[in-house]
Chain A
Amino acid sequence: MSIAHLSLEQAAWDVLRSVEDPELPIAITDLGLVRDVRVDAEARVSVRLVPTWTACPALAVIRGRIREGLLAIRGVREVSVEYTYDEPWTLERMTDRGREQLAAHGLSVPSCRFAEPPVCPYCGSHDVEIDSLFGPTLCRSTYVCRHCRNPFERFKPPAER
């Protein structure tokens, strides 16, 4: 493996870290969308992604932004960006930094399962009530905190088995 090859892989990861989800204030690398990155001897870069929600309209936007970023790297000859389904997206794929960023944005994030008791992101109370399973995006549900009276949104992963 050459130095040029390694630096292309490095540059590809830099691009991925700079792409944000258009519906969440978080980099796709922190959301855990990137499954793997491969650079071959012909300087062709292929990226495989794991979608959170398969019908999410952001998927095409994310793919477009990645393609654009990768093609702008000097030396890259070809780019392929694909979504794969053989390994489902789960909450464990989200990084701690990603969770902190979403929390700072006022979004409650379950630690590992949607079924665990929800926590109000403003006052920390568990005395909350679900308003709707379906929120402003496919990956969010809406709640009301009975303790501090604030409405809030909670990240909704695809249902656990």
Chain B
Amino acid sequence: MPAALATITDPAVRAAFREWLLRVADDELTIGHRHAEWTGVGPDIESDVAMSSITQEELGHARLFYEQIAGDEPGGPDLLAFGRPPAEFRNAVLLEQPNGGWEFSIVRLALYEAFEGHRLGLLARCGQEPVAAIASTLGREERYHGLFAATWLERMARPSGDARARVQAALDAAWPYALGFFETTEADQILINAGLVGKSAERQRETWEGMVRPLLEGCGLAIPAAAAALGGRRGLHTPGLAQMHAEMTEVWGSDPEARW
């Protein structure tokens, strides 16, 4: 058992903490994979390089968390990333959605980075090492992703007209899924009771809204009044994950024992 989980003696708390780490790792892997699809076809060379760098970082972060979850288990982090069926993934459904246009990817990036920055802050205060130290380190890297998203959002949505209308449509599509970041399972209350998470999902959502609302409204965008589209945290995914998963695991699945 890995160090991060071994120090938790209560099996229910340990399972809940594992589930939390899996959400983090699966979120990073799925959004990283979607960002990677922009490599070579970004709107300009700088954005292409930026999205590819963000991909590289998200996949690196996913690996760190999978390593923490897998510990000495046979198969290690690769088995977790590529050897599980889609129903075992715990990522929020927003992150598995196909890219569509650049505006959707940028809106999703902005919504996710605010959430991720806040979540890494919670994780940094969970008291479990080395996970807390890793979360604190990664928070410093994620900040640049948020800056990139904000710059592009402003560039596309500040001018009125077609550009803003398209960004608004992307936001309308992304928002219900983004609320799925805060979907809870039995694990959430267990983590709060055990003192590992210091904030309820509702309060996390309020903090997140307080971060994204000024950015979005400052660009002239309206926050949609839509209900959350849930499922991801329970393994109930949209077709986007199955499509992405088939592509992502194809090479690994051809010979799971191969050493690369």
A159–B129 touching, CB < 8 Å: no
Q: How many residues of A contact B (CB 8 A)?
A: 23
A134 touches B144 (CB 8 A): yes
Q: Is the CB of B61 within 8 A of A133?
A: no
Contact of A132 among B46, B134, B143 (CB under 8 A): B46
The number of chain B residues touching the other chain, given as a range, is 20 to 34
A53–B57 touching, CB < 8 Å: yes
| A135-B56 CB under 8 A given contacts A54-B137, A158-B140 | no
Main secondary structure, interface of A, reads loop
CA distance A31 to B212 in the complex (A): 36
Interfacial residues of chain A within 109-155, with CB under 8 A of chain B in the complex: 131-136, 138, 142
Contact assessment for B144 and A159 in the assembled complex, using a CB-CB cutoff below 8 Å: yes
A75 within 8 A of partner (CB): no
Which B residues lie within 8 Å of A56 (CB)?
60
Does A132 lie within 8 Å of B49, measured CB to CB? yes
Digitize B147-158: 1 where CB-to-A-CB distance is under 8 Å, 0 elsewhere: 110000000000
Question: CA separation between A140 and B143, bound complex, in Å?
Answer: 15
Please measure, in the bound complex, the distance between the C-alpha atom of A57 and the C-alpha atom of B59, giving whole angstroms.
11
Which chain B residues numbered 47 to 104 have a C-beta less than 8 Å away from chain A? 49-50, 52-54, 56-61, 63-64
For A57, the chain B residues whose CB sits under 8 A away are 56
Query: Is B141 in the interface zone, CB < 8 Å from A?
Result: yes
Query: B133 at interface (Cβ–Cβ under 8 A)?
Result: yes
Contacts from B to A (Cβ < 8 Å): 46, 49-50, 52-54, 56-61, 63-64, 129-130, 133-134, 136-138, 140-141, 143-144, 147-148
15 residue pairs from A and B, CB less than 8 Å apart: A54-B61, A55-B59, A84-B133, A86-B129, A131-B46, A132-B49, A134-B53, A142-B46, A158-B137, A158-B143, A159-B140, A159-B141, A159-B143, A159-B144, A160-B140
Q: 4 tightest CB-CB pairs across the interface, nearest first?
A: A55-B60, A158-B140, A159-B143, A134-B50
- List A residues at the B interface (Cβ < 8 Å): 51, 53-57, 84-86, 88, 131-136, 138, 142, 156, 158-161
